[in-house]
């Protein structure tokens, strides 16, 4: 999966591992988390496999960077993945729900503390999403074309999903906290 995210971004324009890491933190990390260690190793592997090519950039006044460019093979791989529709539901992993499921075995006050902390974190995340502009993902020199607006339509749809998800979590936590408090 990470492979396709990296291909997807590099299909727009060449980028370094750090660029990709920050791009992901501002966008896809909300629905696909990856450590920078994984991104760098994945890029190396993808270059070995011929999906990417790389070039060292030595600008003065900035550290050495390795910039990756998608190859035709990489582009074909991305297209093949996008063209094969997903016919199952995505697999979910949510540690907080696991904890909630087994919370009957726990001290009530302790459970409430945790739920409140989670609520706070979801509020913060929602605030970030609400202040977020997907246009920031674009490099400043790129002019707005209908194609890019079309891309951004989908970026904004995923952002919208993120906001709704955070609201759902907050509402669920509010109700759960109230229900646990009232015995």
* Interface residues toward its own copies, by CB under 8 A: 1, 4-5, 8, 11, 27-28, 30-33, 78-79, 82-83, 85-106, 110, 113-114, 117-118, 121-122, 125, 147, 150-155, 157-158, 160-161, 164-165, 168, 171-172, 176, 179
Task: Count CA atoms closer than 13 A to 128's CA, side-chain side.
Answer: 12
Q: Which does 63 bind (CB under 5 to 8 A by kind): DNA, its own copies, none?
A: DNA
Q: Does 16 bind DNA (CB under 7 A)?
A: yes
Which pair of tokens denotes residue 33?
Answer: 């988390």
Q: Which is nearer to its own copies, 65 or 128 (CB)?
A: 128
Of the residues 11, 13, 31, 35, which one makes contact with DNA according to CB under 7 A: 35
Evaluate the CA torsion angle 138, 164, 79, 17 in order and state its sign.
Answer: positive
Output the CA angle 152-92-83, nearest 5 degrees: 45
DSSP 59: -
What is the C-alpha radius of gyration for the chain, rounded to an integer number of angstroms? 20
- Binding interface with DNA (CB under 7 A): 1-3, 16-19, 21-22, 33-38, 40-41, 43-45, 61-67, 91, 93
């Amino acid at each position: 999966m990470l492979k396709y995210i990296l291909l997807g971004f590099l299909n727009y324009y060449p980028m370094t591992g750090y660029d990709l890491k920050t791009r992901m933190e501002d966008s896809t990390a909300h629905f696909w988390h990856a450590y920078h260690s994984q991104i760098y190793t994945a890029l190396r592997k993808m270059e070995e496999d011929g999906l990417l090519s790389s070039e060292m950039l030595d600008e003065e006044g900035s550290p050495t960077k390795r910039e990756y460019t998608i190859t035709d093979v990489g582009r074909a791989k991305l297209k093949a993945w996008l063209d094969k529709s997903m016919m199952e539901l995505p697999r979910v992993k949510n540690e907080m729900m696991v904890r909630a499921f087994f919370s009957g075995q726990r001290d009530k006050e302790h459970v409430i503390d945790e739920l409140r902390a989670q609520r706070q974190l979801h509020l913060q995340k929602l605030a970030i999403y609400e202040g977020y502009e997907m246009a920031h993902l674009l490099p400043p020199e790129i002019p707005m074309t209908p194609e890019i607006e079309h891309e951004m339509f989908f970026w904004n749809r995923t952002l919208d999903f993120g906001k709704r998800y955070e609201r759902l979590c907050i509402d669920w936590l509010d109700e759960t906290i109230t229900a646990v408090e009232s015995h």
